[in-house]
Amino acid sequence: MAISNYSELKQSVIAWSKRGDLDLLIDDFILIAEDAMLANPQVNLRIRDQETRSTATLDADARFIALPDDFLSMRKVSLIIDDGSNSRYPIDFKTPEQLHVLDDSTGQPTEFTVTSQIEFNIAADQAYTIEIQYMAGFTPLTSSNTTNIVLDSGPNVYLFGCLWAAMRYTEDSEEEARYLPLFIDAITGANRKMNEGKYGPRPRIIPRGTKP
């Protein structure tokens, strides 16, 4: 059975679990699976469609800007100077402990860290445009939001996640133990597709002395 929307996912969960009596609980299973996709002890979902760019203004004399509402993790921060060519200058990431804060002075930020907001190492000497490249969350799946980027790119992530959650509910430890690795493997596979698309195919290695 193809899974391309919320209704088809529910039908597949019922079919695979062979438990039609769980129909009213599938929304709960979806929520549990979505939470586990983004925060579990083994591997977190990070697919290409979650990569997002946004810009914000770092005001003069300011050292902080707010994180985007859908922020999960940072990939890159750049400073854009409007000099006619919109030049971008990468800003180095530091842990909060490593950030070398220059108090009582202003200048062009060269370092940043992430806490509950984005913090720079120096207050800006003028207003700057900051470009943020980050991994964003996704819109949860519901009866009114019938698809999202995860279901579109990896429906098996949802299917096995929901089945794992359903088996936890029914206290079927054997089936729970069967579906958890399938769920984790589905997340790993979705992440692998992202990396393959980002870096391209691996180079072909031809042993010396052989013909291609």
Q: pLDDT tens for residues 164-190? A: 999 999 999 999 999 999 999 999 999
Predicted confidence (pLDDT) at residue 204 exceeds the cutoff of 80: no
| pLDDT tier for residue 44 given thresholds of 50, 70 and 90 | very high
Across-strand partners of 78? 90, 131
pLDDT above 90 covers what percent of the chain? 76
Tell me the pairing of strands 122-124 and 102-107. parallel
Whole-number pLDDT of residue 209: 52
Residue with tokens 């990070």: 46
Predicted confidence at residue 182, as pLDDT, reads: 97
Residue 196 has a pLDDT of 66
Write the burial class of residue 45 (CB in 10 Å: 0-12 exposed, 13-18 middle, 19+ buried): buried
Q: What's the pLDDT at 134?
A: 94
Residue 154: which of 141, 167, 143 has the closest Cα?
141
Q: 0.95 exceeded by the pTM? A: no
- Amino acid, res. 41: P
Q: If DSSP codes are grouped into helix, strand and coil, which group holds residue 128?
A: strand
The Cα–Cα gap between 6 and 30 comes to 10
